[in-house]
Amino acid sequence: MQNFENFLLKNLPVSKSIHPTYEEALCKMLVAGGKRFRPALLLGVVKSYNSLMIDGAMHAAYAIELLHTYSLIHDDLPAMDDSPLRRSKPTLHVAYDEVTAILVGDALNTYSFEVLSNAPFSDYTRVQLIRELASNGGLNGMVLGQAIDCYFENKPLAIEDVKILHTNKTAKLIATSLKMGAIIVGLEELGEKLYDFGIKLGLLFQIQDDILDVTQSSEEAGKLTGNDEDKNSFVTLLGLDETMREANELASELTIELNSFDENLQRELSPLLMKYINRHK
């Protein structure tokens, strides 16, 4: 992912204003690192089928990382998770103030679509990509999941409703990362298959996060842990042992599906996915 990191650093948001910290705050969480998991998924799909399109695909991968980073900034706000730590750095409302954190999140959200609108694809492809990112990251996707999560804090949900919550909050942005890769290389039917795979992958990702929240320290995780007691986490509702069983079953199912992909896709995605599919073990 070094090429992606280089692209990100060369294309950081730029603002020329009289504000003393705005531009610094815009870049702080982007350069703090992170797994870059969603960009890696998109770029892996593109590389599988047309490596000549990687340079153009960087724009789409960057747009996803921008949107994801905005969501983390807002998720950490005092009105939501009230977390002091993200990517092993102080969160923006701690490093600056709450107003700055809100506005930087807003800026990165909208900038993601500016980046995507300028990507070197056909108009048709750009519109498809913008639609996918907006649909899965917006009112019927990640934002909906966040709204459900916050509203039902201290109000236990049935486990199937928790899966709906996290399908929206976490899984859809992971799923659309895979699908957008397929759209870029013109394989729309494959995109649907990868989207369904990505929903399961995203759900596993959240189950694993819930496990790590009770098994890792904040230093190990790079963010505040032990903070989900009042939330509808899998561990809170099922207990750690049953949550581990859920994770193991879903990991096995995903491994079987991954092994059914064609050789090129397996070669690009397996090293990344097997690392994350089994990260709870």
pLDDT in tens, 163-214: 999 999 999 999 999 999 999 999 999 999 999 999 999 999 999 999 998 9
Task: Give the residue from 208, 204, 210, 212 showing the smallest Cα distance to 167.
Answer: 204
Pick the CATH number of 2-277 from 1.10.540.10, 3.30.200.20, 1.10.600.10, 3.40.50.11540: 1.10.600.10
- Print burial letters for 169-201: b (CB count within 10 Å at least 16), e (below 16): bbbbbbbbbbbbbbbbbebeebbebbbebbbbb
Q: How far is CA 202 from the centre of its chain?
A: 9
Those residues whose C-beta lies under 8 Å from the C-beta of residue 147, and which sit 6 or more positions away, are: none
Which of 242, 241, 244, 240 minimizes the C-alpha distance to 228?
A: 240
| pLDDT band, residue 150 (cuts 50/70/90) | very high
pLDDT, tens digit (0-9, with 9 covering 90-100), for 208-258: 999 998 988 776 666 666 666 667 889 999 999 999 999 999 999 999 999
Is the pLDDT assigned to residue 142 strictly greater than 90?
Answer: yes
Q: Which long-range contacts (CB under 8 A, 24 or more apart) does 196-201 make?
A: 197/254, 197/257, 197/258, 198/41, 198/171, 198/174, 199/167, 199/171, 199/172, 199/174, 199/175, 200/171, 200/250, 200/253, 200/254, 200/257, 201/171, 201/174, 201/175, 201/254, 201/273, 201/276, 201/277
pLDDT at 226: 65
Quick one: which of 198, 175, 42 has its CA closest to 119?
A: 42
- CA 225 to chain centroid: 18
The structure tokens listed for 30 are 């982007």
Q: What is the pLDDT of residues 32-79, one digit of tens each?
A: 989 999 999 999 999 999 999 999 999 999 999 999 999 999 999 999
* Model confidence band, residue 117 (pLDDT cutoffs 50, 70, 90): very high
Q: Tell me what pLDDT residue 106 has.
A: 98
Q: Residue 44: which region, alpha, beta or left (left: phi > 0; alpha: psi -120 to 50)? A: alpha
Give the global pTM: 0.94
1/218: higher pLDDT: 1
CA angle 80, 81, 86 (to 5 degrees): 125
Q: Is the pLDDT of residue 123 over 80?
A: yes
pLDDT at 120 over 90: yes
Report the SS3 class of residue 77: coil
Query: Is the pLDDT reported for residue 137 higher than 80?
Result: yes
